[in-house]
Amino acid sequence: MTREITLKDGRKLPGLGMGTWYMGDHPEREAEEIEAVRAGINAGVSLIDTAEMYGSGRSERLVGKAIKNQPREELFLVSKVLPGNAGRRNIFKSLDNTLNRLGTDYLDLYLLHWRGGVPFRETVECMEEMVKQGRIRGWGVSNLDRDDMEELFRVPGGKNCLVNQVLYHLGSRGIEYDLLPWMESHDVACMAYCPLAQAGTLRRGLVESDAVKVIAEKHGASPLQILLAFTLLKKNAAPIPKSGRKEHVLQNAAALDIVLDEKDKKMLDEAFPAPDHHTYLDIV
């Protein structure tokens, strides 16, 4: 099954992607990780997320090697700039370095990794310039809560933000209370990182939950596939699970075919209820 989210600029964001945090850090795993990325692409997962921070550029280099012989127009590449580099002094050079490591001449999305000391106005001005130059097709942010997003939208050009990438999984549902509804009402797509809660390590008892296990058995799936299927319930959210192994990437892609029904949703809600009040944004 294919899944897409229409961005406010009319482009289609693939509804499932691949994260690359920690990939490229170990030379002995490079061939396996490249194989994993290529397997995902061949399975139709064309959204690849990375960042200049990941391994100080090593993840971008690994992605560059993995996509070297792939048709660029069939990929949706996303990278992120560090807050300290998000001002006029450094951001253009950061983008140059990212493009060089990836071996491409443009990004589909360029994100501010998290909020730092550079004013939103300055970052937005630079992002808009890079869009006009054709070096990025669009821009967004990451790890911003509702009050940050509201401030961003008050900046000239801030409403052109296409995406907010935040942590979201069954055991961390805080964004459902006010951030996700705000984003939906302002046509800002969500990219959900760590949708598998780093194989359950971010929330004790998640993978071992009776509810998750029962639903997994019902659908002939693994508990991790059920966690991913949960995030796929949100029409405006594109989860980007990271895996450096081919078999896991293919299992993630297969989660697109899992359709959770109302009984499944009720069981998950009872086991891991969403908060009924604002909570601090989870960041890892």
Q: What are phi and psi of 241, to 5 degrees?
A: -65, 145
Residue 236 to residues 54, 78, 206, 214: CA-CA distances in angstroms?
A: 26, 17, 23, 27
Please give the radius of gyration of the chain, using alpha carbons only, rounded to the nearest integer: 18
Q: Which of these is catalytic: 22, 54, 110, 193?
A: 54
223-256 exposure pattern, b = at least 16 Cβ within 10 A, e = fewer:
bbbbbbbbbbebebbbbbbbbbebebbbbbbbbb
54 catalytically annotated: yes
Q: Which of 7, 281, 232, 282 is nearest to 137 (CA)?
A: 7
Would the CA dihedral through 195, 198, 203, 205 be positive or negative?
A: positive
Q: Quick one: three-class SS letters along 219-282?
A: HCCCHHHHHHHHHCCCCCEEECCECCCHHHHHHHHHHHHCCCCHHHHHHHHHHCCCCCCCCCCC
Active site residues: 54
